[in-house]
Chain A
Amino acid sequence: MESCSGEAMSHNGSNIPHTPSRLQLDLSGAAIQGSIEDRNPAIVLPNQEDDTYHLAIDLGGAGSLIKLVYFSKQSDVSALGNASPCSPFSRSDSGKAGILSRQQARFPTQGGRLHFVKFETSKLSDCIEFIKSKGLNCYDIEDIANGIQSEEGSIIKATGGGAFKFADMFKEKLGVTFDKEDEMSCLVAGANFLLKAIRDEAFTHLEGHKQFVQIDPNDLFPYLLVNIGSGVSMIKVDGDGIFQRVSGTNVGGGTFWGLGRLLTKCRNFDEILELSQRGDNSSVDMLVGDIYGGLDYTKIGLSASTIASSFGKVISDEKDLSGYRREDIALSLLRMISYNIGQIAYLNALRYGLKRIFFGGFFIRGHAYTMDTMSFAVSFWSKGEAHAMFLRHEGFLGALGAFVSYDKLGLTNLTSHQFVERFPMGAPYAGGKIHGPPIRDLNEKISWMEKFVQNGIEITAPVPMAITGTTGLGGFERPLSHSSSLRSDSSAALNVGVLHLVPSLEPFPLLADPKGYEPNTIDFSDPEEQEYWFGILSDQLPDLVQKAVASEGGTDGAKRRGDAFARAFRAHLARLREEPAAYGKLGLANLLELREECLREFHFKDAYLAIKQRENEASLAVLPDLLLELDNLDQDERLLAIIEGVLAGNIFDWGSRACVELYQSGTILEIYRMSRSKMQRPWRVDDFDTFKMSWDRPHFRALLFVDNSGADIILGMLPLARELLRRGTEVVLVPNSFPAINDVTVMELLNLLEEASKFCEILRKAVKAGGCLDDKRIGEQDSAANSSEASFPKLLVVGNGCGSPCIDFRQVSSELATIARDADLVVLEGMGRALHTNYTAHFKCDSLKLAMIKNQRLAEKLIGGSIYDCVCRYEPRTQL
């Protein structure tokens, strides 16, 4: 039987020899291809092996920034669109070719990554050097398709005022010709793309607090887009490509920069912003209190600290410019401009009856004070009815829009579930800004890290942000002078990661309320909650590094990488402590996934590989006995015993500190038996009896989301699967596509099934019926299957498309999404998938959530219980 898994197995099986240069396994690529080795580590400064697809450039006016958006894709085109190895289609569609064509028809866009890079305009030569060294100037889209390199020089989409000015320079130095796109169209296209395609793109910012706003892509229009560049344009957007510039103001970023430069003598934009951090505008601005003798003008709602007249005090004192603090002037200027923009924006929104106002453009720069001031203005004038919203990719609207205008890429139709944003090394420090030449390979990156540390620049920025005072006119208090804060406010700018375009990701179709779905169970906006988990991850780090290094053979190179990984991950944590929203909306799922991503980035393929193998072997050894024991029970007892087994097996979790401690004191089987013996009903959450009643009616197809390797899968979930199969239910085992802690992966599970089939006839037949494994591997001698086996319920393995200990049902593999449509039972097992995430999720089909709680804090918060309590939560399908 032909299977695409052949190639996959050969690369990913535990017996594959690893050559150092082919160690890379990157989640992003793998998210689509499952098994295909990825040579493109997802870093902001990717190595040369990246096959660059295309580049768009936004050249702002003077004093602005140069923004690049470029796309890289996997060079192995044949791998694209490949389904995961055990897809049921691999058989019915008779192989790879069929799948490929199907996938391509469905996804006009090939998977790849969008990179966001920016340069100061004054560093134009750096930018040109960057483009050259990345080879971004060499290809155009036609040539890529035809596999030829253009001799004429390629054409690059460019927008922004500078596109006119710098065209000749780019032609001369890079041999590229600009295809100029209209600036406003690009802004609108970029904003539409971001708001539709990127989850948690928009956020509000009030009094220093960011809150992400979920926007329904179907209810996006109309909105007001306020782009603050040198000047300000206000654009009413009614749809894709349907927009009108309705207003604007000439008091914008250029005014801030130009006036600020004259008045403060600062040399760059950020310097003025930083100065403003320490300013007190009351010495420069005339406040209501100055006019009213310290009293409020309450009758019309103006407090004493309201600015009556910006710079109004400068004339009444007889001192010249040097008599004023630069900080104060910078702050006054910033507030004047920000507030004014907010006010004019609101008035335009009012005029056109628009509910949403989005602010973008290079002026904002994630600067908390600026955003607060604008938000305040909008909220003040609208009496709290309108909200200013900001975009995480605010500076890249134009560049992205220009990029989207490559119509052949078909990017415009993509939706949020097809994008995964990653924050690889470089991103947390630079926010997409390039420092120095591009890094070409991993070793170079590590040495850069080492140098970075040696130079004494602490990666972490531990001083937490002082809560910014409110700002602006009318009721804005003067900001606290937060001189104790060493932190630059500009670091509050949100990070822009690498956008992985994974066309094959889809939302899980069985969610009862896809719009309202939120994977994280516990609200992570509570700083205490955040701090707890940052602490846990921080504590686990040394152990993880040790395991990771060991998994790569403990070589010097591995040690070096382990060291770099630890630094990088600590920096991530520090960054998040500083600005929890730095990488978008933060939840536990994202945090845990970030760690796995970081490991992969440093080419640790599977840190727990050895442990998983050891546990698998030990568990497999007792499986025949367990199955025999179960078979001897009557049907009622057997179901309870099986569920008990699932809960008991779930104790083996290397993600839990408590469990890791258990490991020190006993063998796997001892722990399992101990755990099993503690299974006294009723459990803390015990819907077993309801579940049992539903058991009378066999299900058609069950999806089993499995958790850990070892006893968990083998002694817990496999017997459950077997029981379902025995009752004629088709079973789909859904493991992770990529490693995360000791969670079982697709490849491991296939190996396990191969082993289990050797002594269990039920599993063997089901596996054979499912066709996930080559017949030879399950000991099938006669390829002509007999008729009884052909009708046997199938056992399938379908990767979930993730590499995280949690699961986010907004983005799963298309194979899973497809096969889930006919499923009528979903079983979520383990803390990550059933408790940390999805505990409150409802499904269109029956669902069973099984887990043993191995975290005291979670036990208390979630179910008012304590550690080692069990959860068996059953919910019949949600009636729609």
Chain B
Amino acid sequence: MACREEFTQNLIAEVGSLSSKSTHDSGKKPPAMSVSISTSLKPAYLPSPRDPSMFKEASSLARFGLDIGGTLCKVVYFEPLRESGIESDLQKLRSAMVEVEPLAEEGFVRGDVKKDNNMMENAIVVNSGSLIENGNSECSQERGQGSLPAIDSGFEFSQGTVEASCSKEFCPGKEKHVPVEMAKNGHAYEVELTKSIDDAETSKSEYRELSKKEIFRRQFNKIWVSNHEPVNLPGRGTIYFKCFETWRMEEFLSLTKELLHVSKDRAIGATGGGARKFSDRFLEIAGFHLQRADELRSLVRGIDFLARHADQESFEYPKGPYRGGAIQRPLPLTETSSDDGSSEHSGDEKTISENEIRCKAENECSPSANSQNGGTFPTNIKSHGSNLEQTDYLYQISTNEAFYPYLVVNIGSGVSILRVDSTDKFERVGGTSLGGSTFLGLVAALTGCNSFEEAMHLAREGDSTQIDMLVGDIYGGDYKEMNLASTTVASSFGKLVHPEKRSAAMKTPHHLAKAALLMVTNNIGSLAMLHARAADVKHVMFTGSFLHGNELAMRLLAVAMDFWSKGNMQAIFLRHEGHAGAVGALLNSLHISDPIDCLLFDESIPTHC
């Protein structure tokens, strides 16, 4: 317990320094500030912090959490910061691990690789960014929109920076590892950053000398389907977020066997249905035990943790008109329609496309919303987070009783709806089988695309009014008696009933994708709304990987909640939308006696852990 108190004090100190720093930085770079602190620290020319080399950051000290869903397997890992305070503990631990390490590296064929393992690793890490740049076209073909040019990496300049970016400076041997110096100010970051970039450029020529391990790494790179910014826990370490498609589990496991330095004497926290299903395979192939955690509990715990520790983790969309195909939308109230009534009605369809174009433009132009699909953090939104001074509902999630109860709508393959009364008290109140995989499955069946990114990309370009039957199609205008606007979707895919429309539709996969997206999203919105009313909550938290890079869906949900509740309910989203369960699983696997695990303990975790 003494240990824990110490950390808490550290934490407080660090939080203080971080917030002062961030205000300072924001003064320097005002345009990007509104979005995210970590991105604001990046030079504008840098693209996504997509991490090309998978477990690059993960040392043998990393702690893992998996959420193995039906479609996606979410992976988070925590890499502790080597800090003076715990150095002795870590060293002890590390020396204990030396004995284990050879086991972990058995897979290496070449002796020299084995010998120079750490050196090699670092070289590769730096290379990988440019490698990917070169191999970009190849990747794009394979994964469609899934793969983005990504120079990575060392941008985890925050305090928790680990081996990947820093250790090159140090002696390769882990035993001799010297803790990374805490970066105390922005200059330090910039210096480090420049170094990384330089490294990346100069090492282009080296990429031919690929070790076997690098080949594995590249394979890993193909497996990942999304990327999220890491979360720094000041003074403690960094949490990284990855995920891959569950059907590639075997592949993942065999790669894991080669790359992952997890001591085999401890279990990996896991949740989701796959935690049970793949339990044996983990042991067989990778040699890991899974420590299973309840799915819903992990989810709630993960949300709580993320909301409190990640910068601007939660956000909401500003209230305002967004007409992107909202269903069952009533006509504007008479006072608004009297002003610009006719133009608004007739312009509805236009509004959709204009709005989308605008959103897209924002995505593209804004350095912060760094890609169409990878941009998990849209602009023009209001954030909540630990570093913001205004309405920080979630920052106070554990202390602010007013936030409870709230609803969690977790949109994964399917949808689960939970009512959360406290971190320990929650209940699954509903769910639906029309979830993310329904969207993906339908789009795949209809268009032949085969990834979520591809499907989302199609949907962004699409115009569902060619596919959906609108109120206007049926009534020739607004259905005034029932107060339904002509642009309201009356029946998803309803236009396909006409044979001629059908053949046209087959040639426009993007329209189909959009219709599928709207169908699933609107339905979730309706259910969320109804459950929110039934559960009598004011806040609805939407999570789940379906929302990854899915601004359209998030906006729709936000508007729907706001509209139907007449402003009384709030839709809240998480930047790490799909990973809460994995974080919860990670937290669940911690032991109070383990010094590294202690780094993750905080006031939100019941002491009995």
Does residue A343 face the partner (Cβ distance < 8 Å to B)? yes
Does residue B245 face the partner (Cβ distance < 8 Å to A)? yes
B475-505 interface (Cβ within 8 A of A): 475-476, 481-483, 488-498, 502, 505
Asked if B506 and A262 sit within 8 Å, CB to CB, the answer is yes
Does residue B26 face the partner (Cβ distance < 8 Å to A)? no
The listed residue (A184, A297, A309, A351) touching B433 by CB distance below 8 A is A309
Asked if A350 and B328 sit within 8 Å, CB to CB, the answer is no
Asked if B481 and A184 sit within 8 Å, CB to CB, the answer is yes
Q: How far is the CB of A303 from chain B (nearest CB, A)?
A: 13
Residues in B with CB closer than 8 Å to A308 are 70, 273, 413-414, 433, 435
Residues in A with CB closer than 8 Å to B276 are 292-293, 295
Does residue A63 face the partner (Cβ distance < 8 Å to B)? yes
Does residue B590 face the partner (Cβ distance < 8 Å to A)? no
Q: How many A-B residue pairs have CB under 8 A?
A: 244
Does residue B457 face the partner (Cβ distance < 8 Å to A)? no
A308 to B433, CA, bound (A): 5
8 intermolecular pairs with C-beta atoms under 8 Å apart: A257-B496, A263-B445, A293-B277, A308-B273, A309-B71, A311-B445, A312-B71, A316-B247
A245 to B442, CA, bound (A): 30
Does residue A637 face the partner (Cβ distance < 8 Å to B)? no
Asked if B531 and A286 sit within 8 Å, CB to CB, the answer is no
Give B439's nearest chain A residue, CB to CB: A311
The listed residue (A230, A259, A291) touching B413 by CB distance below 8 A is A291
- Partner-contacting stretch, out of A1-9, A170-178, A247-255, A671-679: A247-255
Asked if A351 and B534 sit within 8 Å, CB to CB, the answer is yes
A220-278 interface (Cβ within 8 A of B): 229-231, 233, 245, 247-255, 257-259, 261-263
Residues in B with CB closer than 8 Å to A347 are 430, 527, 530-531, 534
B contacts, CB < 8 Å to A: 69-71, 245-247, 272-274, 276-278, 294-296, 327-328, 412-414, 428, 430-438, 440-442, 444-446, 448, 450, 467-469, 473-476, 481-483, 488-498, 502, 505-506, 512, 518-519, 522-523, 526-527, 530-531, 533-534
Asked if A316 and B328 sit within 8 Å, CB to CB, the answer is no
A295 to B295, CA, bound (A): 14
Mask for A277-301, Cβ within 8 A of B = 1, else 0?
0000000111010111111010110
Q: How far is the CB of B272 from chain A (nearest CB, A)?
A: 7
A416 to B295, CA, bound (A): 53
Looking at B294, B433, B444, B522, the one whose CB has the most chain A CB atoms below 10 A away is: B433
Mask for A297-319, Cβ within 8 A of B = 1, else 0?
10110000001111111111110
Asked if A307 and B445 sit within 8 Å, CB to CB, the answer is no
Residues in A with CB closer than 8 Å to B272 are 291
Q: Closest 4 A-B residue pairs measured CB to CB?
A: A293-B277, A254-B494, A291-B273, A254-B491
Give A164's nearest chain B residue, CB to CB: B476
* With known contacts A230-B469, A292-B277, A316-B246, A250–B71 Cβ distance under 8 A: no
The listed residue (A183, A258, A317) touching B493 by CB distance below 8 A is A258
Looking at B328, B412, B430, B494, the one whose CB has the most chain A CB atoms below 10 A away is: B494
The listed residue (B70, B428, B488, B502) touching A286 by CB distance below 8 A is B70
A339 to B435, CA, bound (A): 13
The listed residue (A63, A312, A314) touching B414 by CB distance below 8 A is A312
* With known contacts A164-B476, A262-B505, A293-B277, A310–B491 Cβ distance under 8 A: no
Asked if B497 and A247 sit within 8 Å, CB to CB, the answer is no
Does residue A348 face the partner (Cβ distance < 8 Å to B)? yes
A838 to B530, CA, bound (A): 48
Asked if A251 and B435 sit within 8 Å, CB to CB, the answer is no
Chain A: residues with Cβ within 8 Å of the partner, total of 70
The listed residue (B273, B278, B474) touching A288 by CB distance below 8 A is B273
Does residue A737 face the partner (Cβ distance < 8 Å to B)? no
Give A347's nearest chain B residue, CB to CB: B530
A290 to B432, CA, bound (A): 16
* With known contacts A252-B491, A262-B506, A309-B435, A297–B273 Cβ distance under 8 A: yes
A134 to B136, CA, bound (A): 72
Asked if B434 and A340 sit within 8 Å, CB to CB, the answer is yes
The listed residue (A255, A285, A299) touching B494 by CB distance below 8 A is A255
Q: How far is the CB of B408 from chain A (nearest CB, A)?
A: 14
Give B533's nearest chain A residue, CB to CB: A351
Q: How far is the CB of A162 from chain B (nearest CB, A)?
A: 8
A207 to B245, CA, bound (A): 37
Asked if A340 and B497 sit within 8 Å, CB to CB, the answer is no
A19-54 interface (Cβ within 8 A of B): none
Does residue A320 face the partner (Cβ distance < 8 Å to B)? yes
* With known contacts A250-B489, A251-B523, A314–B444 Cβ distance under 8 A: yes
Give A182's nearest chain B residue, CB to CB: B481
Asked if B491 and A253 sit within 8 Å, CB to CB, the answer is yes
Residues in B with CB closer than 8 Å to A262 are 446, 493, 496, 502, 505-506, 512
Does residue A329 face the partner (Cβ distance < 8 Å to B)? yes
Asked if B498 and A62 sit within 8 Å, CB to CB, the answer is yes
Does residue A324 face the partner (Cβ distance < 8 Å to B)? yes
A585 to B442, CA, bound (A): 41
Q: How far is the CB of A405 from chain B (nearest CB, A)?
A: 14
Residues in A with CB closer than 8 Å to B327 are 248-250
Give A256's nearest chain B residue, CB to CB: B493
Asked if A351 and B530 sit within 8 Å, CB to CB, the answer is yes
Asked if B328 and A258 sit within 8 Å, CB to CB, the answer is no
- A252-B494, A312-B413 are known contacts; what are 7 more A-B pairs with Cβ within 8 Å? A258-B495, A292-B277, A309-B412, A310-B414, A310-B437, A315-B444, A329-B445
The listed residue (A230, A252, A309) touching B436 by CB distance below 8 A is A309
Give A257's nearest chain B residue, CB to CB: B497
Q: How far is the CB of A807 from chain B (nearest CB, A)?
A: 46
Looking at A255, A290, A291, the one whose CB has the most chain B CB atoms below 10 A away is: A291
A321 to B512, CA, bound (A): 15
Residues in B with CB closer than 8 Å to A253 are 491
A299 to B71, CA, bound (A): 21
Q: How far is the CB of B540 from chain A (nearest CB, A)?
A: 14
Asked if A309 and B468 sit within 8 Å, CB to CB, the answer is no
Asked if A258 and B494 sit within 8 Å, CB to CB, the answer is yes
Q: How far is the CB of A229 from chain B (nearest CB, A)?
A: 8
Asked if B534 and A61 sit within 8 Å, CB to CB, the answer is no
Asked if B435 and A312 sit within 8 Å, CB to CB, the answer is yes
A247 to B534, CA, bound (A): 14
Does residue A429 face the partner (Cβ distance < 8 Å to B)? no
Does residue A720 face the partner (Cβ distance < 8 Å to B)? no
Mask for A712-752, Cβ within 8 A of B = 1, else 0?
00000000000000000000000000000000000000000
Asked if A250 and B491 sit within 8 Å, CB to CB, the answer is yes
The listed residue (B71, B433, B450) touching A307 by CB distance below 8 A is B433
A612 to B327, CA, bound (A): 69
Residues in A with CB closer than 8 Å to B444 are 314-315
Does residue A459 face the partner (Cβ distance < 8 Å to B)? no
Residues in B with CB closer than 8 Å to A339 are 433
Asked if B441 and A311 sit within 8 Å, CB to CB, the answer is yes
Does residue A804 face the partner (Cβ distance < 8 Å to B)? no
A144-203 interface (Cβ within 8 A of B): 161, 164-165, 182-185
Does residue A381 face the partner (Cβ distance < 8 Å to B)? yes
Asked if A255 and B434 sit within 8 Å, CB to CB, the answer is no
Asked if B497 and A62 sit within 8 Å, CB to CB, the answer is yes
The listed residue (A248, A320, A340) touching B328 by CB distance below 8 A is A248
Asked if A316 and B245 sit within 8 Å, CB to CB, the answer is yes
A329 to B488, CA, bound (A): 27
Residues in A with CB closer than 8 Å to B435 are 308-310, 312
Does residue A414 face the partner (Cβ distance < 8 Å to B)? no
Asked if A315 and B440 sit within 8 Å, CB to CB, the answer is yes
Residues in A with CB closer than 8 Å to B245 are 316
Asked if A247 and B530 sit within 8 Å, CB to CB, the answer is yes
Asked if A250 and B328 sit within 8 Å, CB to CB, the answer is yes
Asked if A250 and B434 sit within 8 Å, CB to CB, the answer is no
Give B69's nearest chain A residue, CB to CB: A291
Residues in A with CB closer than 8 Å to B247 are 316-317
Looking at A309, A312, A347, the one whose CB has the most chain B CB atoms below 10 A away is: A309
Asked if B445 and A314 sit within 8 Å, CB to CB, the answer is yes
Residues in B with CB closer than 8 Å to A183 are 481
* With known contacts A184-B481, A185-B481, A258-B493, A164–B445 Cβ distance under 8 A: no
